[in-house]
Amino acid sequence: MPSFSALIAEDEPLLASALQQALSRTWPELGAVPVAINGIAALEQAVALLPDVLFLDIRMPGRSGLDVARELADAWPPTRPFPLIVFVTAYDNYAVEAFEQAAVDYLLKPVNDARLATTVQRLKSLLEQRAASAPDEHLERALAQLRRLASHDAEASQPAPRLDIIRAAVGNQVRMIPVGDVLYFEATDKYVNVVTAEGEALIRTSLRELIPRLDAQQFWQVHRGTVVQVRHVQAAVRDEAGKLSLLLRNRPEKLAVSRLFAHLFKQM
């Protein structure tokens, strides 16, 4: 029987230790399972260790479990099967419904052995099936699941008033920028950069707050930190490594497109 590896991403040490011990009882052949203490560490360790299974806490400092999974899709080597993901969450009816709809397994805190044993059996079966499929096929299935989760998240959020004017800081001025003039929004550490053909300006509103207030037919999220107004996109191009980027009509830079959103630019 092939040996498999796993990684736990959990910022609460007691819960991480409890899950480690429960896995040693229900899946002893898995061996030692390392722990990442936040979302950023989870992403770094997953890329370094390339585990077969990821147990991701939904809410962690630095990155959420969903953010880790989405970013990992870009960082994961294409020659290796994408890891099976188990989301770990406190009891939440919405979360459970979303995971079931997306066919992504989940565990409720605190994890009990009986429920974990069911998850382990499912993981073993999926790992056996995965061995018979190409790595890119499994990645596409994982991306489809993450897209369904993102879609469920958007549908469950409260409707927000449509944004028509952006009030953005430029030096000691506050510019009034019509939303139609925006080429793209780009998240930075503390701000969102609003880019137009005339220049750039900063706002404190996060992308997470901004996206529900934009016209989804006009503004497409193409990366974790980038939302572009699609009418300003001239072309989508692939480099030799297969990575997708966008050329804009009135700006010289290229915008990277993550694997999660690459399906938006498939030929009609």
Q: How do beta strands 244-248 and 192-196 pair?
A: unpaired
Which has more confidence, 131 or 80? 80
Could you count the other beta carbons within 10 Å of the beta carbon of residue 50?
Answer: 15
Residue 100 in this model has a pLDDT that exceeds 80: no
Q: Does the structure show a pLDDT above 80 at 158? A: no
User: Which CATH architecture best describes the domain 6-156?
Assistant: 3-Layer(aba) Sandwich (3.40)
What average pLDDT does range 56-65 have in this prediction? Answer: 86
Average pLDDT over residues 65-85: 87
- 10 Å CB burial of residue 181 (0-12, 13-18, 19+) is middle
Over residues 53-57, the mean pLDDT reads 93
Picking from 130, 105, 133, 108, the residue whose alpha carbon sits closest to that of residue 119 is: 105
- Give this prediction's pTM: 0.77
Instruction: Check whether the bond before 252 is cis (ω within 30° of 0).
Output: no
Query: Is it true that domain 165-265 has CATH number 3.40.50.300?
Result: no
In the predicted model, what is the mean pLDDT of residues 76-92? 84
More confident residue, 141 or 195: 195
Tell the residue number behind the tokens 């958007």, with chain if given: 154
pLDDT at 10: 94
List residues bridging with 220 in a β-sheet.
228
Please, which pLDDT band fits residue 36 given cuts at 50, 70 and 90? Answer: very high
First to last CA, the chain: 44
Return d(Cα 52, Cα 222) in angstroms, integer.
Answer: 27
Q: Where are the domains of the chain?
A: 6-156, 165-265
Residue 8 has pLDDT above 80, yes or no: yes
Residue whose structure tokens are 């002893």 = 28
Domains 6-156 and 165-265 agree in fold: no
Rounded average pLDDT over 233-254: 91
Choose the weakest-confidence range: 104-118, 146-160, 212-226, 228-242.
146-160
- Residue 177, pLDDT > 60, answer yes
Instruction: Reply yes or no on whether the pLDDT at 94 is more than 60.
Output: no
Q: Is 169 exposed, middle or buried (0-12, 13-18, 19+ CB in 10 A)?
A: middle
| Strand ranges in 18-90 using DSSP code E only, listed in sequence order | 35-36, 53-57, 84-89
Strand 84-89 and strand 105-108: the pairing is parallel
